[in-house]
Structure 1
Amino acid sequence: MGAQRADGAREWSQQDGPAPEQTLSQPWNLMIKHRPLQKRGRRSHLSLSYTDPRLSMDLLRAVLQPSLNQEILQVFNKYHQILDRAVQNVRENVGEEVQTDQLIRDTCRSALEHAKLLFPETEVKKPPPEVTYKRHREDENHRASPVPKKRKPRSGPVHERPLTFSQAKIKAEPVKREGPKWDPNRLNESSTFVLGSRANKALGMGGTRGRIYIKHSDLFKYAADVKDKQWLAERHHMRATGGKMAYLLIEEDIQELSQSNDYRDCPDVHMEEMKPFSVPLWMVQKMQRAMAAQRDTSEP
């Protein structure tokens, strides 16, 4: 009986005393307590990036480029014999120091540059980024809604209703290449010409390269070849540009433009920048053929 009381007193004292600390670690508790919780939710619209259609097409171009290069090389191989005979003739006339391989490469590069004329640049108006972002937000909200509500179309006057695609057909006006300005006989040895870059600068458009060709697409422009550029560079009319394009414009056309309402009172117009010059008869004849070809191409 006394032993039982001693055991009971010992158990009572253990219950009243401080509880021993637990030394065992609880990995699951530490993970929950110290590991930051990841918030789940929809990604903010602000982190979305805009897609550029030109970038997508350039990626496709990169995939097709090896095949395109092969086919272009096959085309140049068809004319290899003609080019080889031509450079051999040049070598006999000029001298042995002529680098025939370099001449052929320059000719091929010039042909590729002139092939760009088959795909003229057009001025495309882009919507501002804010409008694009707003449309993107509207598209995302429309996709997120589970059941889109059908709205009853508003009835209003005919002139206030938006035009549909069938009602508002946009038709690009063709470039008019006719009249006396496109008569090849107007070009002769006394005609004077200016570089397209200088005409662009003279009319106050020097900040945008080639803007004169876009704004005034009805102007005659002659793409100088390797021989033309060599002649112009030797007479200090232009710098040696290598494979870059060089266009010649008729000075008379630029002078008429400077007297039009668009440029007459413009403070940025500096006609002294043109520095016109004349060209030999063999280059004039090439310009006449180019003008006739461009005029015939524009006719329906």
Structure 2
Amino acid sequence: MIKHRHVHRRGRRSHMAVSYTDPQVSMDLLRAVLQPSFNDDIMAVFRKYHMFFEKAAHNVKENVGDEVHTDQLIKDACRNVLEHAKVLFPESDVKKPSSEVTIKRSRGSEENCSQRGSPVPKKRKNRMSGAMASDRSLNVSAHVKVKCEAIKKEGPKWEPSRLNESSTFVLGSRANKALGMGGTRGRIYIKHADLFKYAADTKDKQWLAERHHMRATGGKMAYLLIEEDVQDLARGDDYKDCPDVKMDEMKPFSVPLWMVEKMQRAMEAQRDTEL
């Protein structure tokens, strides 16, 4: 096991050369040693409940059709069980020690030690350069602020009343791929920041996974976009002549009224806000 202590390096200005061993490293080493035993025990538990998953998967196949892969359904269900088991070990509010700061500080101390015979004189701050840096930061901040103010969430597309049970939606990942941006995950949200997107919660994702609109993602984020908004983008100048656009990738679907109402509340909360 790693002994956690302060490490003082030799050399000039050694009082600044202090690093800390990350406790997570020790715990992860122990986890790696015990992982095979954990896996055996976990598989024993899943074998105990396997018949329930198997019966449910075969029932789904009978109701939906032969295109359903029972083995994949069972695997997805098992992964979902593991994801939901995380609630047994809630994350603490205590911040983890930053290993990045440790590395930077250690590297700086090594550079100091490597130049024992020739100490490097301190650089004096130039008042003029400091003022220029300050002006630059103000200009950047002002530019960012102006850019943010230009993106408004308003107009007919941000009217919650436009959403109803007949509205159709698409997964953000599919819309991203349909518009030819599949190689850059989530680019559609950056390029079109004024586009309404709804973050699906656990109940929403469970409903979507049960109806095969998406795979069980566990704790991963899943966004829904309005199909009409994506179709409008595809007809615009940015995409209408683009060979990478494949709108058949969208696979739109409807959602129940209770999910529509949640989307309406989310749109109301996001409307007329700046990014």
TM-score computed with the length of structure 2 as normaliser: 0.50
Q: Which has the larger radius of gyration?
A: 1
